[in-house]
Amino acid sequence: MLSVPQTVKRAYKYRFYPTPEQARLLARTFGCVRLVWNKALAERNRRYKDEGVSTSYVDTAKWLTAWKQDPDLEFLREVSNVPLQQALRQQQVAFNNFFAKRARYPRFKSKHRSRASATFQNNAFSFRDGVLRLAKMDAPLDIRWSRPLPEGAQPSTVTVSRDAAGRWFVSILVEEKIAPLPPVDRSVGVDAGITALVTLSTGEKISNPRHERADRRKLAKAQRALARKQQGSANRAKARRKVARIYARIADRRRDFLHKVTTRLVRENQTLCIENLTARNMVRNHFLARAVSDAAWYEMRSMLTYKAAWYGRALVVVDRWFPSSKLCSAHGCGHIHEPIPLNVRSWTCPACGTVHDRDVNAARNILAAGLAER
């Protein structure tokens, strides 16, 4: 385990309020980023299909230079070139991930379905005394500094985005020194659930925040209202924004909550054992509650991963085929029960007579399997 402070890259995200002029320029930049991404992807696909040639970032950067000379694509010159190149770099990373089987094939960006964003490297913005200016803009961004940037931080990258609810965000990437936490003598198994957010091997169940149920009801109602609106109508656009606003609020509150939970788990435990989510996704279903809890679990897992690395803790991901909920966790038993339907919350082991809470039993098994793997 590392015991010296490590330098990590950390993103700080804030809301900001653009002037009408900034909003126009940024919207145009997002449009150009999307267009460059899609054109490059189409050209990559075509070259591969017609000529059997693969494409590198350098190739795509040359295409971009040529596109900017094309009179039909003149508008590409009105925005900063940096986010356009950055989109091509991100596309290269997406392809690398695909070839390494870490991600699926890169997709075209749709105006409605993808998040609009543009990434500026430090040659395309200036940051001094808490004032951030982007290339081709006179006024600085009006940022709500909801928490301070670390003392003396020098941002390396700035990403501007607008969500479906029309809110603007700036994410500032800085290098930061993080000292590991003092070692502790505890380990925990974490089971992702539907009724509880997570269940711990200690028997504790951490529920979703209280407001989440009410928020989800509102979301479902807004989605039903949206479904009744006529395609292309003004009312439909309004209903869509409403859905997006509620969804954004759920996501924000959930993220705050997940930060609290994951920080606590990482502080309290030296080793954290979790289950590979894909095991739970074997059964596809489209219930909202399930979709939301899966999304929360993905987010939680990624937070646990980086926080464990920051603070010198071990995170063990237990194999996806492990029968965590069917195996009796009582010491020395090891009986494997027949499949237990999801609605059965507790069961009695026929071999040793122990009564198990389904989720606590699973969390205990995940802990044991994780510790055995170490």
Contacts with Zn ion, residue ranges (CB under 5 A): 328, 330, 333, 335, 349, 351-352
User: Of the listed 43, 215, 359, 373, which one is catalytic?
Assistant: 359
Location of structure tokens 């940037």: 149
Closer by beta carbon to Zn ion, 88 or else 328: 328
Closer by beta carbon to Zn ion, 28 or else 326: 326
Closer by beta carbon to Zn ion, 237 or else 352: 352
- Least distance CB 332 / Zn ion (angstroms): 9
Question: 279 has which bridge partners?
Answer: none
User: Of the listed 268, 275, 299, 373, which one is catalytic?
Assistant: 275
Count of other CB atoms within 10 angstroms of residue 151: 6
User: Of the listed 74, 191, 319, 357, which one is catalytic?
Assistant: 191
Closer by beta carbon to Zn ion, 288 or else 352: 352
- Least distance CB 282 / Zn ion (angstroms): 25
Closer by beta carbon to Zn ion, 290 or else 337: 337
Active site annotation includes 142: no
CB within 8 A of 132, min separation 6: which ones?
125, 126, 140, 141, 143, 155, 158, 170, 172
- Least distance CB 372 / Zn ion (angstroms): 18
Location of structure tokens 């803790």: 313
Location of structure tokens 């009744």: 228
d(C-alpha 247, C-alpha 226), whole Å: 13
Active site annotation includes 319: no
Active site annotation includes 359: yes
Closer by beta carbon to Zn ion, 352 or else 372: 352
Residue 341 DSSP class? -
- Least distance CB 355 / Zn ion (angstroms): 10
Which are the catalytic amino acids? 191, 275, 359
